[in-house]
Amino acid sequence: MTEQLDVPAEGTVPLDYPFTRPSALELCPHYAALRENAPTSRVRMPSGDLAYLVTRYEDVRTVLSDTRFSREATTAPGAPRLGPAPQNFRSLLNMDPPEHSRVRKLVSREFTARRVSALRPRIQEQTDLLLDAMERQGPPVDLVPALAFPLPVTMICELLGVPFEDRERFAAWSEAFLSTGGRPVEEILASQAALRDYLGMLVAGKRAHPGEDLLSALVAIHDADDGRLDEEELIHLGISLLVAGHETTVNQISNSVLALLTHPGQLAEVRGHPDRIGRATEELLRMYPPGDEALLRITLEDVRLGDTVIPAGSAVLPSLGSANRDAGEFGDADVLDVTREGNPHLTFGQGTHYCLGSGLARAELQISIGTLLHRFPNLRLAVPYEELPRPAGRLVHGVTSLPVAW
């Protein structure tokens, strides 16, 4: 039976967003109730602004791919926002077509499948090194600092040409950057400025001494006579790649391993068919995405979604986590089934802003999880599941500590 909720229509009190998770891996039951009773429902965000939370698969796809739902409009002064601080910079994620298409095309030219697949041996090598260190250390080991954090961060650093030694500085800025509540506005704005200065300095360095890395390639596009990425675009592209390139994957690795360790039948299936690791990681992406919602959109005109007309100028939150559990799209939608075939989950988004790094993320997930399970056949949780921390108040989240033994 689905939980009954007040349908937040005109005159009723909107639900407070974000919802509280019952435990590290469970999605709040509100989502199932909303999908059934109020699929486009008003919520109050941490900023105090109202938004429409969209929870059904087809509607979420529409919000992500229909140009009447704008990202750019979220950067206008006074626009509704999710968290306490404005995020009004010119990054790829904050642009609408046609400007978005122009910048995305330029980046895609350098961020090719070839560049990513050339990284696979490095991902494997780095995973092996990290797991060697874990083995030497002996159980129990916290898998977050041992594998889930350093692997994606090393890879994004190598890809972009960012010094790995700076990781603690930019990890702290990036954490504040993605905060949706609980941190003072001044701190968030200071982190935005610090990341901007840091990327500005790196770009200047690449211009003086270009390397083989992606940032140098992007600077070269910028510096070409037909210079089609301006300085701000370049810097914010660097920030997006650095932030998006590690926060998400770090959480996805730890959430995925946790899910397998708490579903022994599924774990056995993955161990028994290492060649099907790709299918398994897609299912883990569907069930346990590192964020419940994609970024906020604003309607450019009145838009009908199902029975609801969303007025022009409204904030809209498309729920990827909920769409991925929609029984209208997925059989046994609430069941983790690592053998699931044809899995059109929305964890990497859809349409215009579809994740640029999905190829890299997939390679990292498949190699790290596959190798971990192979090297540690008796891997298990070293603390009770209920004790695992998953802090709220962040756009991208996961367990921050995952002690394991073997």
Contacts to ligand HEM by CB under 6 A = 64, 92-93, 104, 156, 240-241, 244-245, 248-249, 252, 289-290, 294-295, 347-349, 353, 355-357, 360-361
Tokens 């509704």, residue located: 80
Q: Which residue is nearest to ligand HEM (CB)?
A: 357
CB of 80 to ligand HEM, least distance (A): 15
Q: Three-class SS of residue 77?
A: coil
CB of 10 to ligand HEM, least distance (A): 28
* 30 vs 236 by CB, closer to ligand HEM: 236
* 34 vs 159 by CB, closer to ligand HEM: 159
* 282 vs 337 by CB, closer to ligand HEM: 282
Q: Where are the beta strands (DSSP E) in 4-115?
A: 15-16, 40-44, 50-54, 69-70
3 near 32, Cβ under 8 Å? yes
CB of 61 to ligand HEM, least distance (A): 11
- CA 58/CA 66 separation, integer angstroms: 12
* 256 vs 371 by CB, closer to ligand HEM: 256
CB of 67 to ligand HEM, least distance (A): 13
Tokens 């349908």, residue located: 7
Going from the C-alpha of 359 to that of each of 297, 363, 366, the distances in angstroms are: 25, 6, 11
Asked, as a colleague might, if the bond just before 18 is cis with ω within 30 of 0, I would say: yes
353 near 64, Cβ under 8 Å? yes
- DSSP string computed for 260-324: HHT-HHHHHHHHH-GGGHHHHHHHHHHHS-S-SB---EEESS-EEETTEEEPTT-EEEEBHHHHT
| 400 contacts: CB under 8 Å, gap ≥ 6 | 144, 389, 390, 391
Q: Which two tokens stand for residue 322?
A: 């909920």
CB of 402 to ligand HEM, least distance (A): 16
Q: Which two tokens stand for residue 276?
A: 């099907």
CB of 232 to ligand HEM, least distance (A): 15
CB of 388 to ligand HEM, least distance (A): 19
CB of 11 to ligand HEM, least distance (A): 30
